[in-house]
Structure 1
Amino acid sequence: MANLHPMDELKEKLKAILEVVPQGSEIIYVDYPVYNNGGDVLIMKGTEAFFRDYNIKVRARYSAMDFPKKLSIPDNWIIVCHGGGNFGDLYANHQGLRERVVRDFPSHRIVVMPQTIHFESERKADMAAALFNNHPDLHIFVRDARSYDFATAKFHKCKIRMCPDMAHQLWPLKPTARPRKDVLYFLRTDIETVAGQQQFDREADDSNRLDWDTMFTPMEVRGIVYFQKFYRLDKKLGGPLPTRTFWYKYTDYLMNKAINLFSSYKEVRTSRLHGHILSCLLDMPSVVIDNSYGKNSQYYEAWTAGNPKASLHGASESKLEQPS
Structure 2
Amino acid sequence: MAKLKNKLSVILDVVPQGSNIIYVDYPVYNNGGDVLIMKGTEAFFKDNGIHVRARYSAMDIPDQLHIPGDWIIVCHGGGNFGDLYLNHQNLRERIVRDFPNHRIVIMPQTIHFQSEQKANEVAALFNAHPDLHMFVRDTRSYQWAKDKLNQCHITLCPDMAHQLWPLKPTTVTVKDVLYFLRTDIETVGGQKKFDDEADAAHRLDWDTLFTPLEVKGIVYFQKFYRLNKRIGGPLPTRTFWYKYTDHLMNKAVTLFSSYREVRTSRLHGHILACLLDMPHVVIDNSYGKNSQYYNTWTQPNPKARLFNDAPDALEQLS
The question of a shared fold, defined as TM-score above 0.5 by the shorter chain, is answered with yes
Question: SS where residue 61 of structure 1 aligns?
Answer: strand
Which position in structure 1 is the counterpart of 2:262?
268
Instruction: Give distance in 2, aligned partners of 1:57 and 1:209.
Output: 40
Which position in structure 2 is the counterpart of 1:38?
32
Number of matched residues?
317
Question: SS where residue 25 of structure 2 aligns?
Answer: strand
- 1:27 lines up with 2:21 in the alignment: yes
1:41-120 paired onto structure 2 within 5 Å: 41-120=35-114
Q: Which of the residues 2, 9, 13 maps onto 1:8? A: 2
Question: SS where residue 200 of structure 2 aligns?
Answer: coil
Q: Which of the residues 233, 243, 248 maps onto 1:249? A: 243
Question: SS where residue 62 of structure 2 aligns?
Answer: coil
Tell me, yes or no, if the aligned pair for 2:190 and 2:309 is still in contact at 8 Å: no
Instruction: Give distance in 2, aligned partners of 1:228 and 1:198.
Output: 33
Taking only the aligned residue pairs, the percentage that are identical comes to 75
TM-superposed CA distance for 1:251, in Å, is 0.2
Q: TM-score, normalised by structure 1?
A: 0.96
Instruction: Give distance in 1, aligned partners of 2:309 and 2:45.
Output: 36
Which position in structure 2 is the counterpart of 1:277?
271
Structure 2, gaps ≥5 residues long? none
Instruction: Give distance in 2, aligned partners of 1:320 and 1:25.
Output: 52
1:154-173 paired onto structure 2 within 5 Å: 154-173=148-167
Which position in structure 2 is the counterpart of 1:3?
none
Which position in structure 2 is the counterpart of 1:146?
140
TM-superposed CA distance for 1:206, in Å, is 1.1
Which position in structure 1 is the counterpart of 2:215?
221
Which position in structure 1 is the counterpart of 2:297?
303
Q: Which of the residues 186, 191, 202 maps onto 1:192? A: 186
RMSD, aligned α-carbons:
1.3
Which position in structure 2 is the counterpart of 1:4?
none
Instruction: Give distance in 2, aligned partners of 1:160 and 1:52.
Output: 24
TM-superposed CA distance for 1:90, in Å, is 0.2
Which position in structure 1 is the counterpart of 2:172?
178
Deviations 1:215-246 (A, max 9, x none): 00000000000000000000000000000000
Instruction: Give distance in 1, aligned partners of 2:255 and 2:10.
Output: 32
Instruction: Give distance in 2, aligned partners of 1:139 and 1:319.
Output: 41
Instruction: Give distance in 2, aligned partners of 1:318 and 1:35.
Output: 35
Residues 182 and 54 (structure 1), Cα distance of their counterparts in 2 relative to 1, 3 Å cut: same
TM-superposed CA distance for 1:170, in Å, is 0.1
Tell me, yes or no, if the aligned pair for 1:287 and 1:320 is still in contact at 8 Å: no
Residues 61 and 320 (structure 1), Cα distance of their counterparts in 2 relative to 1, 3 Å cut: farther
Tell me, yes or no, if the aligned pair for 2:81 and 2:110 is still in contact at 8 Å: yes
TM-superposed CA distance for 1:202, in Å, is 1.2
TM-superposed CA distance for 1:203, in Å, is 1.1
Tell me, yes or no, if the aligned pair for 1:311 and 1:319 is still in contact at 8 Å: no
Instruction: Give distance in 2, aligned partners of 1:102 and 1:277.
Output: 30
TM-superposed CA distance for 1:134, in Å, is 0.3
Instruction: Give distance in 2, aligned partners of 1:60 and 1:246.
Output: 16
Tell me, yes or no, if the aligned pair for 1:133 and 1:157 is still in contact at 8 Å: yes
Letter in 1 for 2:19: S
Tell me, yes or no, if the aligned pair for 1:311 and 1:320 is still in contact at 8 Å: no
Question: SS where residue 174 of structure 1 aligns?
Answer: coil
Residues 258 and 297 (structure 1), Cα distance of their counterparts in 2 relative to 1, 3 Å cut: same
- 1:136 lines up with 2:130 in the alignment: yes
Instruction: Give distance in 1, aligned partners of 2:314 and 2:174.
Output: 22
Instruction: Give distance in 2, aligned partners of 1:318 and 1:173.
Output: 30
Which position in structure 2 is the counterpart of 1:204?
198
TM-superposed CA distance for 1:321, in Å, is 4.3
Deviations 1:77-127 (A, max 9, x none): 000000000000000000000000000000000000000000000000000
TM-superposed CA distance for 1:300, in Å, is 0.2
Q: TM-score, normalised by structure 2?
A: 0.98
Tell me, yes or no, if the aligned pair for 2:307 and 2:313 is still in contact at 8 Å: no
Letter in 1 for 2:14: V
Tell me, yes or no, if the aligned pair for 1:234 and 1:241 is still in contact at 8 Å: yes
